[in-house]
Structures are given as C-alpha cells and as structure tokens.
Amino acid sequence: MELQIEGMSCAACAGRVEKALRKVEGVSEASVNLATERARVQAPPGVTAAALIAAVEKAGYQASELKTGETPAAPRLPSGAPVLLGAALSLPLLMPMLVHPFGLMWMLPAWLQWLLATPVQFALGARFYRAGWDALKARSGNMDLLVALGTSAAYGLSLYEWLVRGATHALYFEASAVVITLVLLGKWLEARAKRQAGDAIRALAALRPATARVRREDGSEQELPLAQLRIGDRIVVRPGDRIAADGEVIEGASHVDESLITGESLPVAKTVGERVIGGALNADGLLLVRATALGAQSSLERIIRLVESAQAGKAPIQRLVDRVSAVFVPAVLAIALLTFAGWMLARGELETALVNAVAVLVIACPCALGLATPAALLAGTGAAARRGILIRDAEALEVAHGLTTIAFDKTGTLTEGRPALLALVAAEGVERADVLAGAAALQRHSSHPLARAVLAAAEAQGAVLPDATGAQALPGRGVQARVAGRSLRLGSARLLDESGLSAPPALAAESARCEAQGMTVSWLLADEDAVLGLLAFGDAIKPSAAPALAALQRLGIRTLMLTGDNEGSAAAVAASLGIADWQARLMPADKAARIARLQAAGGRVGFVGDGLNDGPALAAAACGIAMAGGADVATEAAGISLLRGDLRLVPEAIELSRRTTAKIRQNLVWAFAYNVLGIPLAALGMLSPVVAGAAMAFSSVSVVLNALLLRRQGS
C-alpha cells in the first residue's frame, strides 16, 4: 500500500512516520520518502489503510491512501503570502543592523519591535509550535521543534530584557522574526524545487486521454470514458489525438509521436499490423486501433509504476542517513544545553548563553540531510524517464554506476531479432536488380519472415515488381510462380538439388561463406535449367550497437557477448562489432553461471537482454538491463528497462547513474559538512541566530537545486 504524507519537515519526521507505521500489527516493512512525501508499506491483506492512516495521524502527521494506478497530483505549493508578510514585518527590525556599518546608530523603540515581532512569532510561526508539540507528544524531535525552541528563546529573552530589566537596546526580537521568515522562505523554495523534481511522473500521467472514440459493429462511433474501454474495442484515432490504449493498427497509416514515452525524437511510421502505445500522439493520419491492453496492464501505466517505484525507494546509501537522523535532534538539543551551560559557566551572562544556544538550535536543522539522497534520486529517475530509460528501483541506479563489465545477449539485443536480407549475389550475366525484383514478386503476398525481409529490401531500393501469376508453395523447399512470362522458383538448397542443378563456382563459394556465418541461403532459379542468383538472410546488427559499445569502452567498461545461437552467427556479429570475448550455444543457466563466475572474480557485471531465456542472466547480474519489446519476464527481472531498442541508451543509463550517484555524494557531503561546521561555530558564539537561519534555509534549497541539475541529462 502507498500513502501520501503531509506535514513532514525534515529527515527526523520521515523517520518518525516510518517508526509509527512499523508499529502497526502485521506491517513487515515501511519506507518513507521525504522528497516525494510518500510512504510505501508492505503488509498482509488484513492490514487496512485506515489503520495505517490512524498510526500516521497519531504521530502528528496527515495521510491519505493512494489507490493502485493513481498518480498523485503535483504537491500543493505553499502560499507565498506568509513569506511576504514575514519579510514586511521583519525588515524594519533588521534596518538598524543594516545601517550600522555606515556609522548610523539607530534603534526602533522596544514596544515597536515587540509589535512587529509578535505576529511573526505566534501567527506565522504557529505551524512550528503545532508540529513541535506533536513531536514531543510522540517522544521525538524534528526541525519544527528546533525552530520553535530557538525562536521562543530569542523572543522570551527579549521580553525579559525589556520588561524586567528595562533594556531598550540589545534586544533579539529581530532574530526570532527573521529566523521564522527565513525558514518559511526556505520551505517555500524547497516546495517549488521538489514540485519540479516530480514533473516526470506528472508529464507521463498527463498523456492519458480522458475519453476514447470507439467504432461499433454498425459503423457508428461513440465517445466513451477510458474506464469503459474493453479489450478488443476498435478505437478511432484522429490526427492530433492521443492514442487511448495499447493496441494494434487494423486500418489506416500515420506517423506517431512517442517521444514522451520512449524518448524517440522522431515520429514513427505506423501501418496495419503494427503496435501502438497508449498515450502516444497521432500526427497526420486516421488510425483504427484494436485495444490489446488497458489499465494497469498498459505500457504507460507500467512505465509510471516503474518510475514511481524508483522514486519512492531508498538507495542503500540512505540507510546511513536514516541512522544519523534517528539520533540527530536529541543530540542537537543536548549540544544546545551544553552550549548554554558552557557560556553561563564561562561568562555568567544569560543573554550571551541563550543567544548562542538559540544559534545552535537554528543552524542544526536536518532538512538538507533528509533531502540529499531522495532529491537526487527523484531528479535522476525523472531525467532517465524522459530519455526512455526506466529505473525499476533506487538500488539499480546506485549499483549501475559501479559496473565494470557488461555482457550482451545477441539476438534481439545486439541484432534486430528478425531476418534481413544481408547478401544478394547474381549469377554471371544477370543483374542484381532483376534477382531482387524476381524474388520479391514471387513473395509479394507471403507472410513468411524471409518473404518480409525480401519485400523490405525491394522497397528500400525502390524496385518495380513485375506481376506474378499462378503462385504455388513447394512444401519444405520454397515457392514458384510465373513472373514476366517465365517460370521462377525461390527456395532452399534442397530445391536446387531436386532440380538437378549445381551452383556456379562463384555462387557456391559465396553460399559456403554465408552459411559459415550462420545465414540462411535461398536460390532463385529460372525455367528448368538456370541459376539466377542467391539471397542470404541473417539477423542484421542494430545500427546503434557499434556506437554503444564504443561509448562503453570510453567509460572504461569491458564488454562481452553471451548467446544461445550457433558459433558461425555469433562469430560474425562479434567480428563485426569488435567483441573479443564471446560464447555461443549457451543455455539460460549457462549465461547466469558465466555472470556469477565473473562477479565471483571481483567484477561488477551488468547484463543486457530481451528474451524469455535472458531472465536468469538478468536476475544474476548486479544490474540487469532489459531491451524494449522484450519478454515480460526479462522486464521483471531487470533493474533498468529501455523503452526503445536503441543500444546507445545503455551507456546513457550508466552515465546518468554515475551523475546521480555523484549528486547524492555531493549533497551528503554538503549536508554533513554544513552541520559538522555550523554547529561548533554557533556553539562558540561565531554565528548569530539570524545568520544561522539564513544558512539553514540556504542549505536545504541548495541541496534540492543541485539535484535538479540532473534534469539536463533528460533534456
């Protein structure tokens, strides 16, 4: 179950919500993400959402259940009015401090300082008192408690100095008011930044159209809500419409823009028989689509769930932060008390001791610490989604940066996974164009994979196909027909043998070479005694394979190929791509075992595959990467899924993982260093509460903004 949590302000808050959820009977695991303000709970069916919500509310926060498939709305941006009001009331209090460097000694009357500071302290600062009180009731602490204690101490000291000791100068009303205003400003900026970081999910969710136009059996059309669609419904998609569901084109042709889903920059041509993705934008033609997947089973919903899963999860490095956060607030309170006691013993001045203790409380806010990891993960997974790279969980993103070796499957991964015409050799005195046109004419109406390869090659070369009549299949051997007045046959070596023909020496040598590379060879024969040429079919290497492997080498990653295909085919692909380390005729368990051996030797191995038989290897790898269009089991076993078959996304994913991990480390270094340096400075009296408040607000915002730099990677 997933819950939306409201009211958290720092890492200690997230820890308290986790603790409250884990106390619910039956809950086995609870994880709270401060950046997304969501909780993920694992529990048996008997545990209700109401029980979880009650536990969260008892801890002092608000919660609501997120239904399956429901995407949370953009976080509500806090109003900027309190910040503006706080600034208007605090600025006059700051004026004497601002003009003092210019030799001007000026001070507001004490009663006016009190009048300006009181609404800031108790009206604008009421949220800190409420949240701090809730934390105390739960026997815990959070940032709000630190702010409430610190500003109350400064405000109370000022009242004491004014009313009891009659002082009109050296009051600290400005410290309490300015700190509250700066904290409110920091929270407002932080909310804006976190809202931007979650844009990837909301952009995907916005692709779902609210309705679909369905064509009935009688030819009439009806506009239906998306929830009423059924598998098999025929959906009319007009130019400019978004496709309502995953399906198959049964009528029409068009170009479809899938850029927001797969990251493919150019519109993709779609004709009858081709698959389309729900949420994609139909560009220029009218399509009739038969719905094949709806709701939670649709590609868009699965993508959204994967991105949400990664953003809601915790990276392994976050465990250190959680342990620190659990003891952070009590430790800060202890340090503040020691600071107060130390200054009282050293100087005996209540004012100095209290001001320095207040500075400790204010500067020690653990917001930056709590946001360091989730903010970077939020931005990194969002950037990946915009490029067509789906990160299944936070651990995959953190692990991928350390890969030393990546193994590739061959068929469907390094290659297209379908037959293509790789070689065509004409006999002496015969034109290659005539061989291609004749073979294509013979197979014009065939749905065989080799026939489609011939027709695709003919179309690519603009061949004009002659008419074929009397087409007849020759079972186990090929096909024959009359083409342009002569009898043509296209088939296997068996057809050649049965015709009593022998291949010319040049063609025989070419046939042997192609077969040694694992290709399938077909012969084109004319009449009863002529060999016109041969056509060799194989699995074409993807155009993106070579650039991807080169990019991985530049990243310092070793590559190898593990395939179940024959040696000839594997050797040809390996030689073409410059892969020195490869193995063929491997069973699924063999691939997984090879990966296990590499990792046992100290390597960190990733595996890229697409097929049903790649599941064990993907699961065995430190990080599995599943190719677009592959088997469901491959996607389920992989930590990273690619939404399009472009292998260049593999090095992009690795590079993005490295950048995200670097951002996490930068943020954690900044957050830890900020507190490690700031608290001693405040305790030693080297920071005023006002400066401490400004530094605290800056630290939280800077951590989130630093993480948002990752968004460039997804542009």
Element (H, E) at 267: none
Helices then strands, counting H and E runs in the chain, come out as 25, 26
SS3 400: helix
Q: How many CB atoms lie within 10 A of CB 429?
A: 7
Q: Is 467 a catalytic residue?
A: no
Place of tokens 């620190």: 324
Phi, psi of 19 (to 5 degrees): -60, -40
As a whole number of angstroms, the distance between CA 573 and CA 108 comes to 82
Catalytic-role residue among 409, 539, 565, 614: 409
Neighbouring-strand partners of residue 236: 213, 288
**H-helix segments, 100-142:** 110-119, 126-137
Q: Which helix (H) or strand (E) holds 277?
A: none
Tracing tokens 């749905």 back to the chain, one arrives at 447
For 294-397, strand residue ranges (E) read 389-391
Per-residue burial over 339-367, b = 16 or more CB atoms within 10 Å of its CB, e = otherwise: bbebbeeeeeeebebbbbbbbbbbbbbbb
| Residue bearing tokens 């989130």 | 704
With contact defined as beta carbons under 8 Å apart, do 703 and 710 qualify? no
d(CA 294, CA 278): 9
In which residue are the tokens 């969002």 written?
A: 382
Q: Nearest CA to 711 among 193, 81, 152?
A: 193
- With vertex at residue 365, the alpha carbon angle to CA 360 and CA 367, rounded to the nearest 5 degrees, is 165
Rounded to 5°, angle at Cα 566 from 563 and 568: 115
Residue type, 443: Q
Give 595-657 as a 3 state SS string.
HHHHHHCCCCEEEEECCHHHHHHHHHCCEEEECCCCCHHHHHHCCEEECCCCCCHHHHHHHHH
Gap between the Cα atoms of 436 and 443, Å rounded: 11
Q: Which residues contact 308 (CB under 8 A, 6 or more apart)?
A: 71, 201
Sheet strands side by side (includes 211-215): 221-225, 211-215, 234-237, 287-293, 246-251, 275-276
Contact between 405 and 558 under an 8 Å Cβ cutoff? The reply is yes
Helices 126-137 and 143-159, interaxial angle, to 10°?
A: 120
- Collapsed DSSP state (helix, strand, coil) of residue 142: coil
| DSSP character at residue 162 | I
Q: Which residues are catalytic?
A: 409
